[in-house]
Amino acid sequence: MMDQAQALRRLVARSNSSASSVDDPSTRQHRTRVITVTSGKGGVGKSNFTLNFAMMLQEAGYRTLIFDADIGMANIDVLIGSPASVNLYHVLSGMKRLEDIVQIGPKGIHYVPGGSGFQDLLNMPEESLESFLSELENWAERYDVILFDTGAGLSKETIRFVMAADETFVITTPEPTAIADAYALIKVVYGMFPDTKFRLVVNRISDWAEGQQTAERVTSVARRFLQLEIPVLGYMFDDPHVMQAVKKQTPFSLLYPNIRVTEQVRQLARAYMNNGQQPKNDGGMKNFISKWLKRWT
Ligand SMILES: Nc1ncnc2c1ncn2[C@@H]1O[C@H](COP(=O)(O)OP(=O)(O)OP(=O)(O)O)[C@@H](O)[C@H]1O
Ligand SMILES: [Mg+2]
C-alpha cells in the first residue's frame, strides 16, 4: 500500500507536469497574487493590516480573498465581528464544500475563517486531498489577490505559507524588539528559501522620520549581512482609532474611512497593484499548492 508521503509526491509530480499548459500566459487573463503576511514579534498589526488592505484592494476593484491561517486563533472574523461557525475543518472532514465556508466580508472581500489548520490536510486520504486541492485551485482562480494572515514568529506552518507564496509581507513596528524579530525572521527564511520576495510594512509610526528610520534599520542589516534588498511596501501611522475599531469589531477603514491611516492603507493597496511586479509564471495558487505540498515529501 502506498504511504501518505508517496501519495503526496505523486500529487506534486502530477501538478508540476500540468503546470506549463495550465499556466500558459497566452491562455490566461490574469494571475492570482498569493501573499503571506507575517511578522517576527506578535501583535504588531498583521491582522488589521491584512483585513484593511484586502478591503482597499477590493475597493479598487481587485477581487480579494483572505485565508485566516493563524492556526488555533481566529483573527479576521473577530475583527469583522461575525464569528464564523464553519471553517476549513468542516471542509477537510467532508462535511462542507469550500464554497460553503467562504464568507463575504466588508466591501465584498471574501475570507476563509481560521480555527483549523491546513496541516490537517496531511491526515486526509489521498482521494479527498486531491479533490480538495483541485477545488481550492479552481476556486482561487476567481481572485486577483489571496492573502494568508499568519500567526507571529516562525512556526513550521508559517514557514510553509511563506515559502509557498509569491510574496511575503513582513510587518514591524518601530519598537526595537519588533525590528530585531523582523530581521531574525527574514534571516532564517532567507537562509532556507533564498528566492523569497519580502516586502516590509512599518506599522504604528508616530511620524515619517520614525517610519523611515525603522525601515532603514531592517533594510540596512539585510543589505549588509545578507546582501538582500528589501523593498518597503509602506507605512501606517499609530492611531488610537485602530484600537477603537478593534473594540467595536469593525474594520478601521470602514468605521473611519477618512482618517490618515485608512488613507495610507488605501494608497498602499493601489500602489502595490500599480507598481508591484506581476507574479512570475511559477506563481499563483496552483504553484502555492504544489510548493506547499512539497515540504512534506
Ligand atoms: N496603526 C495602529 N495604530 C494603533 N494601534 C494599532 C495599530 N495597528 C495595530 N494596533 C493595535 O495592535 C493590536 C494588535 O493588532 P493585530 O491583531 O492586527 O496584530 P497581529 O500582528 O495580527 O497580532 P497576532 O500576532 O496576535 O496575530 C490591535 O488590536 C490594535 O490595538
Ligand atoms: Mg493576527
The rounded distance, in Å, linking the Cα atoms of 74 and 191 is 30
Q: For 64-76, b where at least 16 C-beta lie within 10 A, e where not — what string?
A: bbbbbbbbeebbb
114-132 pLDDT tens trace: 766 666 776 777 777 788 8
**Mind listing the pLDDT tens digit for each residue in 11-20?**
555 544 444 4
Predicted confidence band at 89 (pLDDT cuts at 50, 70, 90)? confident
How many Å lie between the centroid of ligand 2 and the Cα of residue 8? 30
pLDDT of residue 61: 96
From the alpha carbon of 236, which atom of ligand 1 is closest?
1
- For atom 12 of ligand 1, the residue with the nearest CA is 45
Output the pLDDT for position 21. 38
| pLDDT at position 171 | 98
The cell numbers describing 248, all together, are: 467595536
pLDDT above 80 for 265: yes
- For the cut 60, the answer to whether the pLDDT of residue 276 exceeds it is no
User: Which ligand 1 atom minimizes the distance to the CA of 44?
Assistant: 21
Q: Is the pLDDT of residue 157 over 50?
A: yes
Measured in angstroms, how far is the CA atom of residue 175 from the centroid of ligand 1? 13
Q: Please tell me the predicted confidence (pLDDT) of residue 28.
A: 41
Ligand 1 atom closest to Cα of residue 51:
18
Q: What pLDDT, on the 0 to 100 scale, is given for residue 218?
A: 98
pLDDT of residue 124: 74
Task: Identify which ligand lies nearest to the alpha carbon of 246.
Answer: 1
Q: How many CB atoms lie within 10 A of CB 256?
A: 17
Helix (H) or strand (E) holding 272: helix 260-275
Q: Which residues line ligand 1 (CB under 6 A)?
A: 39, 42-48, 70, 75, 151-152, 203-204, 236, 238-239, 242-243, 246, 261
| H or E stretch at 168 | strand 167-172
Kindly report the average pLDDT of the chain as a whole number: 86
Residue 240 CA: nearest ligand 1 atom is 4
Structural domains in the chain plus CATH codes: 4-294 (3.40.50.300)
**What is the rounded distance in angstroms from the CA atom of residue 94 to the CA atom of residue 73?**
22
Confidence category of residue 272, pLDDT binned at 50, 70, 90: very high
pLDDT digits (tens, 9 = 90+) for 210-260: 999 999 999 999 999 999 999 999 999 999 999 999 999 999 999 999 999
Residue 151: DSSP 8-state: P
127: helix, strand or coil: helix
Distance between Cα 51 and ligand 2 center (Å): 10
pLDDT band at 295 (very low <50, low <70, confident <90, very high): low
The pick from 44, 71, 249, 266 for probing ligand 1's pocket by mutation, whose C-beta has the most ligand atoms within 8 angstroms, reads: 44
Q: H-helix or E-strand containing 201?
A: strand 198-205
CB atoms within 10 A of CB 153: 14
* The pLDDT of residue 22: 39
